[in-house]
């Protein structure tokens, strides 16, 4: 099974909020590469949750795919900030899975800390200019991250 990482701005949707919601539909992703990854997610896949634009920016917890991706309802809603006039119910452009909350890490792993791990040099998150908000994570990276976090 593939492992993943998703970004969220703490001020927009935090790990604490996710913890109290217990599950969440990961809507609003509007980037094709990220969308393709969302669609590739399988039920049960494990997903690292990362706080971007936060202090500190860090991997803060773990989620699991509950439902594979379906048409993101926000693309059809003219009142939504994620509304896409080019999308239709017949031909949706954007998709979202549903995640279940698994845990909040005892120790959030800051970007700075992650950069110091030589075994994580290849991580998509750590590549220069990497902005992708949904990323695959290798098994090796995933195992190490869990070890560091717990």
Site of interaction with DNA (CB under 7 A): 7, 9, 30-33, 52-54, 57, 111-112, 127-133
Q: State how far the Cα of 65 lies from the Cα of 63, in Å rounded to an integer.
A: 7
Walk across the sheet containing 23-25 and list its strands.
23-25, 95-110, 58-71, 46-52, 3-9, 134-137
- Our CB check for DNA shows the closer of 67 and 148 to be 148
Q: Contact, 38 vs 126, CB < 8 A?
A: no
- Our CB check for DNA shows the closer of 44 and 149 to be 149
Least distance (Å) between residue 51 CB and DNA? 8
Least distance (Å) between residue 31 CB and DNA? 5
Least distance (Å) between residue 70 CB and DNA? 20
């Amino acid at each position: 099974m593939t492992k993943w990482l998703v970004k969220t701005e703490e001020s927009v949707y935090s790990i604490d909020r996710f913890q109290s919601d217990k599950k969440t539909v990961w809507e609003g992703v509007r980037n094709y590469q990220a969308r393709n990854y969302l669609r590739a997610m399988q039920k049960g896949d494990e997903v690292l949750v990362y706080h971007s634009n936060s202090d500190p920016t860090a991997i803060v917890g773990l989620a699991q795919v509950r439902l594979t991706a379906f048409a993101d309802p926000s693309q059809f809603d003219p009142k939504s900030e994620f509304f896409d006039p080019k999308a239709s119910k017949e031909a949706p452009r954007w998709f979202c899975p549903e995640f279940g909350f698994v845990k909040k890490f005892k120790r959030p792993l800051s970007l700075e800390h992650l950069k110091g791990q030589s075994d994580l040099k290849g991580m998509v998150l750590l590549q220069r200019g990497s902005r992708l908000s949904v990323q695959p994570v290798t098994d090796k990276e995933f195992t190490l991250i869990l070890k560091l976090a717990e």
